[in-house]
Structure 1
Amino acid sequence: MTSQTNYSEPQYAKSQDKAKAPFYHPNIERRLVPETQELLEKYSHVPRDQQSEHIHKIRDQAWDIRAYPCIGLGSWLTPQLCRLPVYDDILKRVKDGATLMDVGTFVGHDLRRLVYDGAPSENMFGIDIVNLFDVGYNLFRDREHFRGHFIEADILSTTSPELAPLRGHVDIVVVSQVLHQWDWEGQLKAVQALTTFTKPGSWIVGNQIGNPEAQAVSLMSRSTALWRHNPDSFAKMFEVVGDSTGTRWETQAWLRTFEEMGWDANDGAWMEPNVRVIEFVAKRVS
């Protein structure tokens, strides 16, 4: 793995005082939803009466590396990929040998859910800009039997040797809670980068923070506004990306409330009004 020096991630992620961060909740036990309890008990062999202590320890290991809102809130403990309307199709494709790349894999939680649901891990790749992979092994206690591949790399890099073998060979790209960190132009650039890993028939799936009104928003004193998609603007983004890359895409997207995602309504209180989550699947036609 190659250490990165110029990250395409937001500056705030690199250092946050727990006591001052609006998105660090000291107690995230409520995030232990039944699906996560089952995964930790049956896949990771963490007894239920030890799970609260376990996930708090893991959360703080991750926070000390990167101070992302999803880490501080514990929202990563709520299953996301398996909530997508196309999850059963994703699972079947991976069981049948499809290659899956999880961008912004964090601790590899979606990958472990796929394995628990019966998918082989050999064709799974977890990509992240910073190495949280040991934290993931600590969480899931599967270092000896998980056969997926983790790569520390920036997907915006065009010269990363670790990513080169995957270009043009990935069947399913998962990108959850990543694209919303950029403005419109930044998201276009990121999606263009993602398309280099695809081929006709590939899918790009995931979720990100969205809004019923497609708009630019400014949060946490950032100099660059973030872009919030609704289904129409998300489809437009893939039209623009298709024109610039010579590819063609069909998109579906769904706006969800935080409650529908299994999160608390006040998790988005520090963001703009009417904030939602947009789930999506983009299928490459040509």
Structure 2
Amino acid sequence: MASFAPPRADSTIAQKWFEESTSVDGEFRDLLENYSHVSSDSVVPHVVNTRNAAWQIHPYPCLGQFRFLELNLSHRDLYSRLLDDLKTQPDARFLDIGCCLGQDLRKLIYDGAPPERVAGAELNGAFIDLGYELFKDKKALAGKTPIVSANILEDPSSPSSPLYSLAGTFSAVQLGMLLHLFTWEEQITAFRYTLSLLRGNTGDRIFGQATGHLDGTPTASVSARATFKHNADTFTKLVTEFGQTTNTSWKIVTAELDNGLSVFDGKRTWDDPRTRRLVFEIERES
């Protein structure tokens, strides 16, 4: 990833994203109590302490607002098919790029996906370590589920890449909350390198979410880089260009903006009011 200066965790901007505590209910509590074996009365302090450590690494809004507790992947329509493929198809494998604390990986494993068929990649290795602390499973996953520190803007087919041994093995890849950090050209690079991680078969899938924008427009980041936030039309153009540059064809299964990211909760008063969440899924046709 090209370098940029993120807001400090104690900056005024970052603190607007920071919630002191949270409740932990439903699926995430079930995951911690029954997968990680965290006692019921320890769940909330365990989550808050882990989040606070993650916040000091990088003050992402999703961390400040405990959004990793939502387990968004498991709520998507594609989840049941993904889980079934991992359980039943011998060549099905899933990679979560930008996995952060690895919550989606643990949910898949808890729901029955074989640990050796899922993998994660995260730019900052400190988040990987915190994920092991949060879910208490470093020994359990050792030798089964690779979670590596890697940059999707670097060629995974290079022998020096942490993803080199995994290239060409996946049937599905998630790009989690990444695209809006990149320029249009970097997004094409990210998709092109994701392609090299896939098997190369019809039906291979790339899906994820990102911060989007009703207008689909370049927006200056904290370092004034012209990153791009999509609407459905601009995302379609991006996928078309990606297909043309790689001589591949892709069906857009989903490309839509919704009200995720708490855009209407009254807390994002500093944000562009036309901000939305982009949710997408594309499937290889040829």
Deviations 1:51-90 (A, max 9, x none): 2211111012212222322222221121111122211111
Cα drift, residue 267 of structure 1: 5.3
Match of 1:45 among 37, 40, 46: 37
Whether the 8 Å contact between 2:263 and 2:276 is mirrored in structure 1 is no
Distance 1:91 1:263 in 2: 30
Give me the CA root mean square deviation: 2.1
Cα drift, residue 219 of structure 1: 4.3
TM-score (norm 1): 0.88
Match of 2:73 in 1: 81
Cα drift, residue 192 of structure 1: 1.7
Whether the 8 Å contact between 2:219 and 2:227 is mirrored in structure 1 is yes
Of all paired residues, the percent bearing the same amino acid is 30
Match of 2:18 among 11, 25, 30: 25
TM-score (norm 2): 0.88
Amino acid at match of 1:223: A
Higher relative contact order (CA 8 A, sep 6+): 1
Match of 2:104 in 1: 110
CA 1:219–1:157 in 2, change beyond 3 Å: closer, same or farther?
A: closer
Distance 2:187 2:267 in 1: 23
Match of 1:4 in 2: none
Match of 2:47 in 1: 55
Whether the 8 Å contact between 1:91 and 1:119 is mirrored in structure 2 is yes
Determine if the alignment matches structure 1 residue 248 to structure 2 residue 237. no
Give matches, 1:1-286, under 5 Å: 7-8=1-2, 10-12=4-6, 15-17=8-10, 21-30=14-23, 32-96=24-88, 97=90, 98-131=92-125, 132-146=127-141, 147-158=144-155, 159=158, 160-198=160-198, 199-200=200-201, 201-220=203-222, 222-251=223-252, 252-258=254-260, 265-266=265-266, 268-286=268-286
Cα drift, residue 173 of structure 1: 0.5
Distance 1:24 1:104 in 2: 20
SS in 1 for 2:109: helix
Amino acid at match of 1:224: R
Q: Which moved more, 1:222-231 or 1:118-127?
A: 222-231
Whether the 8 Å contact between 2:150 and 2:161 is mirrored in structure 1 is no
Amino acid at match of 1:107: L
Runs of 4+ residues deviating >6 angstroms: 261-264
Cα drift, residue 264 of structure 1: 6.8
Distance 2:272 2:152 in 1: 28
Distance 2:95 2:114 in 1: 13
CA 1:28–1:202 in 2, change beyond 3 Å: closer, same or farther?
A: farther
Q: Which moved more, 1:233-242 or 1:159-168?
A: 159-168
Cα drift, residue 229 of structure 1: 1.0
Distance 1:262 1:140 in 2: 26
Distance 1:145 1:19 in 2: 40
Note the residue ranges of structure 2 that are not aligned, 5 or more in a row: none
CA 1:194–1:187 in 2, change beyond 3 Å: closer, same or farther?
A: same
Equivalent residue pairs, number: 275
Q: Which moved more, 1:18-27 or 1:86-95?
A: 18-27
Whether the 8 Å contact between 1:99 and 1:171 is mirrored in structure 2 is yes
Q: Which moved more, 1:106-115 or 1:227-236?
A: 227-236
Amino acid at match of 1:213: D
Distance 2:137 2:119 in 1: 16
Whether the 8 Å contact between 1:10 and 1:181 is mirrored in structure 2 is no
